[in-house]
Amino acid sequence: MPRVALHTLGCKLNFAETSTIGKQFLDQGFEIVELGEPSDVCVINTCTVTDRADRECRQLIRRALRTGGNPVVVVTGCYAQLEPEEIASIDGVDLVLGAREKFAIFDYLPVLDKLAAPRIHVSDVSTALDFGPAYSTEAGNRTRAILKIQDGCDYTCSFCTIPLARGESRSQSIVTTIAQAHDLVARGYKEIVLTGVNVGDYGRKNGNSLLGLLKELVRVNGLLRLRISSIEPNLLTGELIDFVASNEVMCNHFHVPLQSGSDEVLRSMRRRYTSSDYADTVRRIREKMPAAGIGVDVIVGFPGETEGCFDTTYRFLAELSISYLHVFTYSERPNTPAASFTGRVSPSSRHKRNEMLRILSQKKRHSFYEQMLGRTVRVLMESDVENGLRFGFTDNYVRVALPADRTSENMIVYAGLEQIIEGVCVGSLIGNEQPA
């Protein structure tokens, strides 16, 4: 049986798309193996949000080439779309596929010759107007599926290459999305995470909306949880917040990119809100859902981010009622306006600011978890077991560890949270809510 190794860099959207590519290989009789094992084909789905992602991609390509089997190496994803010639120049790469071509991989594989020069099939991103359906599971368990509902972006943030790599915003139809949700539930998944490049923009061009989709998805029989992966603050409307707060299938968890707490930096980034707008959104969430989990993306070291601007961001986040941070260090990306901005921040300052916010995030998460102690919560238990404990998440994104019980896997259980150990709420099982 031929073997294929698949590896994904980047966001949940990339993982969902890699899973779809993997299904194509299974349909063709391939066995899927881990990167590093001997294989006939190796597919790397790339990210290009930062220069670190680019470096990691190059390292993975070289790692794949060191394995046995002399695999055909296929590189696709955002990095491949933006820098196909650069990838093709890496020794051992056989095929580079762009955003339009990645879901038609078997149109290109049969004609490959390992002795030939690398082949590049990357269309202009403006022609990527179709929608590639994709969904996957997290960590290979049956509890949580990632469902792609939207792709591309029409925003013009000055630091971002994603519109260049993925094209215009486009959405999957509600009918198709509902059908995929029914399929996932039938296969045993209890939670669906909706993902895309700009999820909040879902349906804008075809008369639909994210709220309209959510209202249909929560009616899917057997779906216990529905989670939004990330949503822009200007698109997280009061109506959306009210719906999430009022529907028991919706998870009380929002991940809302901020990027900076300085209005000066936000303007330079070409973001579509102010820090005051963002704070108002957080306050509205807290009013409707006091225990909601709220995650935040932040970029440090953006050109023109002075010490004063960073201090404003730090104080803004320290005072904000949020649960955790995802901190990114700014890196210059080719063909973006910000790459030519003045006021470059030194690498050492970028690193220092990243570390300060990372520590703040740890404090925020610990404080949020402390508020959960002594409560009885509903936890969707996963397959992971370590040291006699099984792990899962609450709907507001608190990671929980309970004594391993074979009957609790892929079930929602009631648990009492008692203490925090190594960043996890540890508790006791009170009872099962429903069978798997």
Q: What is the domain-level CATH number for residue 181?
A: 3.30.750.210
Decide if 242 is inside a domain.
Answer: no
Average pLDDT over residues 256-283: 98
Decide if 236 is inside a domain.
Answer: no
Average pLDDT over residues 52-77: 78
Using 50, 70 and 90 to split pLDDT, how confident is the model at 141?
low
Residue numbers of the domain that contains 318: 253-372
Are 279 and 350 part of one and the same domain?
yes
373 SS3 class: coil
Are 82 and 141 part of one and the same domain?
no
The C-alpha atoms of residue 96 and residue 57 are separated, in whole angstroms, by 13
Are 18 and 83 part of one and the same domain?
yes
Decide if 413 is inside a domain.
Answer: yes
Single-letter code of the amino acid located at 16: A
Is the per-residue pLDDT at 98 higher than 60?
yes
Are 260 and 223 part of one and the same domain?
no
Is the per-residue pLDDT at 92 higher than 70?
yes
Decide if 237 is inside a domain.
Answer: no
Average pLDDT over residues 401-411: 86
Are 343 and 415 part of one and the same domain?
no
What is the longest distance spanned by two Cα atoms in the chain? 64
- For 19-60, how does the pLDDT look when each residue is reduced to its tens digit (9 = 90+)? 888 888 988 899 998 888 888 899 999 887 666 766 787 788
The C-alpha atoms of residue 394 and residue 227 are separated, in whole angstroms, by 11
Instruction: Say how many domains are in the chain.
Output: 4
- pLDDT value of residue 436: 39
Beta-strand relationship, 412-421 and 31-33: unpaired
Is the per-residue pLDDT at 435 higher than 50?
no
Predicted TM-score (pTM) of this structure:
0.85
- pLDDT value of residue 387: 86
Q: Please state which of the ranges 184-198, 250-264, 290-304 shows the lowest mean pLDDT.
A: 184-198
Query: What one-character-per-residue DSSP string does 300-324 give?
Result: ES-TT--HHHHHHHHHHHHHS--SE
Are 348 and 362 part of one and the same domain?
yes
Contacts of 406-410 with CB under 8 Å at 24 or more apart are 407/432, 408/381, 408/432, 409/381, 409/382, 409/383, 409/436, 410/141, 410/142, 410/143, 410/188, 410/190, 410/380, 410/381, 410/382, 410/383, 410/436
Decide if 247 is inside a domain.
Answer: no
Of the candidates 320, 350, 372, which is a domain's last residue?
A: 372
- pLDDT value of residue 129: 63
405 SS3 class: coil
Report residue 59 as tokens: 């390292």
Tell the residue number behind the tokens 């779906």, with chain if given: 223
Q: What is the domain-level CATH number for residue 416?
A: 2.40.50.140
Are 364 and 273 part of one and the same domain?
yes
Q: What is the domain-level CATH number for residue 19?
A: 3.40.50.12160
Looking at every residue in the chain, the average pLDDT score rounds to 89
Of the candidates 87, 105, 123, which is a domain's last residue?
A: 123
Q: What is the domain-level CATH number for residue 283?
A: 3.30.750.200
- pLDDT value of residue 115: 57
Rounded to a whole number, what is the distance in angstroms from the first to the last CA of the chain? 33
CB 163 within 8 A of CB 153: yes
Of the candidates 77, 103, 123, which is a domain's last residue?
A: 123
Decide if 246 is inside a domain.
Answer: no
Are 141 and 206 part of one and the same domain?
yes
